[in-house]
Structure 1
Amino acid sequence: MFNVDERYRGLPASREQVIALHTSLNSPHLFIPGKPAGPAQAFILGLRGSTGFATFIYLYLAEAAECAVYVSGKRNASFEEYLGEEAEALAFVESMGFMMDNSNWRSMAQATQEELLHTLPVFFRDPRQVPAVQKRVEEKRNAAATLGRFLAAF
């Protein structure tokens, strides 16, 4: 069973900690309680810790720069338990309308893994730190400044 944990805003991890990454191929419109509704991306992340494995579901609402992180009740799972939780996580997000793709993290080139760690929203401490979000904020700020200068000319 997966439940939202408000303490999490992101899942920064090292390349070695990641054992699996599933990403959504589509962006269905979702309403997550306490968050604005909008198109969402889903990520299922399997992480290896010092005492076991954990599965996380990360839903990213790009338009609002918000996220919801779902965690399993079992954090220090054995590998066999982890595989069961991964299957449960896939079924959970697919029930919301996501079509998921296994990125085959372990077979990726190290450079590709590093690039994903620096670009995917799931790996940032806060969804507002995602480069695409920061770029949109800057564009809005520039547009507002331009409009302000235009109106001040009258």
Structure 2
Amino acid sequence: MFIQHTKLKSLNVPAEKITHLHVASSSVQLAFSSYPPQLCQAYLLQISGGNKVLIVVAFYLEESQSSIFFVPKFGELPAEEAAAVYEEGYNFVESMGFVLTESDYHLLSEQKKKSYWAALPICKLPKVQPDKLSTVTTKEDEELRKLRLCSLESLGRMFASL
């Protein structure tokens, strides 16, 4: 089960720590809490350090120019358990309508890995903060916003449980 990591805004990880990277072949429109519905790109990656591994699902929101990250509920895991959790992450992303493709990142030279990794939008800080995106003008708008947030959070939990 993957949960949203609300504190993480970008991936500041050295390129050599990324051992697997799948990228969505096209964008899909999604709605996340605190953001308007918009086209998103999806990434699934494995970050390795020592004998611990972290699987990360990342969504880049194109209009907001921000990233949202999901990690396994239990966080880092031993390397021998990584394949099963990576497969779970793969299914999680594809359940949202994305088609993931292998980037062959692990086959690139160290220099090409660095340039490829640095160019990904999930490695950059967001240009717009989510709390600055929405402005509430009336009491009715505020009620609708609260209902929308509740629905989106519920939908996110439902997708995460699949």
For the superposition of Structure 1 and Structure 2, which TM-score range results when normalised by the shorter chain? 0.7 to 0.9
The equivalent of 2:111 in structure 1 is: 111
| Per-residue deviation, 1:51 | 5.1
The equivalent of 1:128 in structure 2 is: 127
CA RMSD, aligned part only? 1.6
Task: Give the whole-Å Cα distance in 1 for the aligned partners of 2:90 and 2:76.
Answer: 19
| Per-residue deviation, 1:81 | 1.2
Task: Give the whole-Å Cα distance in 2 for the aligned partners of 1:112 and 1:92.
Answer: 28
The equivalent of 2:136 in structure 1 is: none
Query: Normalized against structure 2, the TM-score is what?
Result: 0.73
Q: Structure 1: give runs of 5+ residues left out of the alignment.
A: 130-154
Note if contact 1:38-1:63 (Cα within 8 Å) is conserved in structure 2: yes
Aligned length: 128
Note if contact 2:39-2:63 (Cα within 8 Å) is conserved in structure 1: yes
SS for the counterpart of 1:64 is coil
Residue identity over aligned pairs, in percent, reads 24
The equivalent of 1:5 in structure 2 is: 5
Task: Give the whole-Å Cα distance in 1 for the aligned partners of 2:54 and 2:85.
Answer: 8
Note if contact 1:51-1:76 (Cα within 8 Å) is conserved in structure 2: no
Alignment deviations for residues 42-99 of structure 1 (CA, whole Å, 9 cap, x no partner): 0111101245001011100111112211011233312221111110011001000001
The equivalent of 2:153 in structure 1 is: none
Task: Give the whole-Å Cα distance in 2 for the aligned partners of 1:36 and 1:81.
Answer: 36
Mapping of residues 57-68 of structure 1, within 5 Å: 57-68=57-68
The equivalent of 1:94 in structure 2 is: 94
Task: Give the whole-Å Cα distance in 1 for the aligned partners of 2:117 and 2:50.
Answer: 20
Mapping of residues 54-93 of structure 1, within 5 Å: 54-93=54-93
Note if contact 1:52-1:78 (Cα within 8 Å) is conserved in structure 2: yes
Query: Normalized against structure 1, the TM-score is what?
Result: 0.77
Task: Give the whole-Å Cα distance in 2 for the aligned partners of 1:104 and 1:122.
Answer: 18
The equivalent of 1:21 in structure 2 is: 21
* AA aligned opposite 1:96: M
The equivalent of 1:30 in structure 2 is: 30
